[in-house]
Chains A and B, each alone.
Chain A
Amino acid sequence: MQEIMSGNEAIARGAWECGATFGAGYPGTPSTEILETFAQYKGVYAEWSPNEKVGLEVAIGAAFAGARSMAVMKHVGVNVAADPLFTVSYTGTNGALVIITADDPSLHSSQNEQDNRNYAKFAKIPMLEPADSQEAKDFIKLAFELSEKFDTPVFLRTTTRVSHSKSVVRIEEPVNAADRTEIRHLPLKYVMVPMNARARRVEVEKRTQAIREWAETFEGNRMEMGSPEVGIITAGMPYNYAKDSFPEYSYLKLGLVHPLPEKMIRDFASKVKKLYVVEELDPFIEEQVKAMGIEVTGKAVFPYTNEFDPGVVEKAITGKSSAPSVTLQTIPPRPPNLCPGCPHRGLFYALNKTKAFVSGDIGCYTLSYMKPLSGMDSCICMGASIGIAHGMSKALGPKGKGKVIGVIGDSTFIHSGITTLLNAAYNRSDAVFIIADNRTTAMTGMQEHPATGYTLQGEKAKELDFAALGKILGVESVEVIDPLNFKDTTKILKQELQKEGPSLIISRAPCVLLMSKKAAQAKQFFTDPDKCIGCKVCLSCGCPAISWKDFEKTGMPARPDRKKQKGIAVIDATLCTGCTLCAQLCRQEAIMREGE
Chain B
Amino acid sequence: MGGKVTSLLLAGVGGQGILLASDIICKVMMEKGLDVKKSEVHGMAQRGGCVTSHVRYGQKVYSPLARKGDVDMIVSFEKLEALRYLDYLKKGGMILVNDEEIYPPSVNLGEADYPKDIYESLRSQFGKDSVKVIPGPKLASLAGNRRAVNTVMLGAISRFTPGLVREDWKKVLTEVLPEKILEANIKAFDLGREA
Interface residues in A499-543 by Cβ distance below 8 A to B read 536, 539, 542
Interface residues in A336-379 by Cβ distance below 8 A to B read 336-339, 364, 366-367, 370-372
B97 within 8 A of A: no
A165-B38, A165-B64 given; A108·B43 CB < 8 A: yes
A366 to B: closest C-beta gap in Å: 8
Interface residues in B20-67 by Cβ distance below 8 A to A read 23, 26-27, 30, 35-50, 61-67
A164 within 8 A of B: yes
A29 to B: closest C-beta gap in Å: 3
A167 within 8 A of B: yes
Binds A, one of B111-119, B127-135, B157-165, B185-193: B111-119
Q: Mark A428-455, 1 if CB is under 8 A from B, else 0.
A: 0000000000000001110000000000
Q: Contacting B44 at CB < 8 Å: which of A164, A329, A443, A536?
A: A443
A376 to B: closest C-beta gap in Å: 14
Q: Contacting B46 at CB < 8 Å: which of A240, A245, A336, A542?
A: A336
Among B63, B65, B89, B107, the most chain A Cβ lie within 10 Å of the Cβ of B63
Chain A, Cβ-Cβ closest to B86: A326
Interface residues on A, range: 35 or more
A241 within 8 A of B: yes
| Complexed CA–CA distance, A507 and B94 (Å) | 49
| Complexed CA–CA distance, A241 and B67 (Å) | 9
Q: Contacting B30 at CB < 8 Å: which of A4, A240, A322, A367?
A: A4
A240-B63, A324-B69, A544-B48 given; A332·B112 CB < 8 A: yes
B17 within 8 A of A: no
Q: Contacting A337 at CB < 8 Å: which of B49, B70, B87?
A: B49
Q: Mark A541-569, 1 if CB is under 8 A from B, else 0.
A: 01010111010010000000000000100
Binds B, one of A191-199, A285-293, A308-316, A413-421: A308-316
Contact at B45–A108, with CB atoms within 8 Å?
yes
Chain A, Cβ-Cβ closest to B90: A324
B149 within 8 A of A: no
Contact at B49–A550, with CB atoms within 8 Å?
no
A481 to B: closest C-beta gap in Å: 24
Contacts of B80 in A (CB 8 A): 331-332, 334
Among A2, A165, A367, the most chain B Cβ lie within 10 Å of the Cβ of A165
Q: Contacting A547 at CB < 8 Å: which of B13, B46, B108?
A: B108
Q: Contacting A30 at CB < 8 Å: which of B27, B42, B103, B104?
A: B42
Contact at A567–B62, with CB atoms within 8 Å?
no
A568 to B: closest C-beta gap in Å: 11
Contact at B65–A309, with CB atoms within 8 Å?
yes
| Complexed CA–CA distance, A366 and B43 (Å) | 13
Contact at B110–A548, with CB atoms within 8 Å?
yes
Chain B, Cβ-Cβ closest to A312: B67
B173 to A: closest C-beta gap in Å: 15
Contacts of B64 in A (CB 8 A): 132, 161, 165-167, 240
B106 within 8 A of A: yes
Contacts of A239 in B (CB 8 A): 62
B94 to A: closest C-beta gap in Å: 15
B123 within 8 A of A: no
A328-B83, A332-B80, A337-B49 given; A29·B44 CB < 8 A: yes
Chain A, Cβ-Cβ closest to B146: A574
Q: Mark B69-96, 1 if CB is under 8 A from A, else 0.
A: 1100000000011011011010100000
Contact at A240–B69, with CB atoms within 8 Å?
no
Contacts of B61 in A (CB 8 A): 167
Q: Contacting A548 at CB < 8 Å: which of B36, B42, B108?
A: B108
B68 within 8 A of A: yes
Contact at A336–B65, with CB atoms within 8 Å?
no
Q: Mark B130-150, 1 if CB is under 8 A from A, else 0.
A: 000000000000000000000
A30-B42, A547-B108 given; A332·B114 CB < 8 A: yes
Contacts of A161 in B (CB 8 A): 39, 64-65
Among A166, A324, A364, A567, the most chain B Cβ lie within 10 Å of the Cβ of A166
A411 to B: closest C-beta gap in Å: 14
| Complexed CA–CA distance, A333 and B63 (Å) | 27
A372 to B: closest C-beta gap in Å: 6
B145 to A: closest C-beta gap in Å: 14
Chain A, Cβ-Cβ closest to B44: A109
A332-B114, A567-B110 given; A367·B37 CB < 8 A: no
A160 within 8 A of B: yes
Given contacts A244-B62, A336-B47, 12 further A-B contacts (CB under 8 A): A4-B23, A166-B64, A244-B63, A323-B69, A329-B115, A331-B84, A334-B48, A334-B105, A539-B108, A546-B108, A547-B103, A548-B110
Interface set of B (CB-CB < 8 Å, partner A) = 13-14, 23, 26-27, 30, 35-50, 61-70, 80-81, 83-84, 86-87, 89, 91, 103-110, 112-115, 121
6 residue pairs, one from A and one from B, having the closest CB atoms: A323-B69, A109-B43, A29-B43, A548-B110, A311-B67, A336-B49
Q: List 14 A-B contacts (CB under 8 A).
A: A161-B39, A164-B42, A166-B26, A166-B38, A241-B63, A310-B67, A326-B87, A332-B106, A332-B114, A334-B13, A334-B105, A336-B44, A371-B109, A539-B110
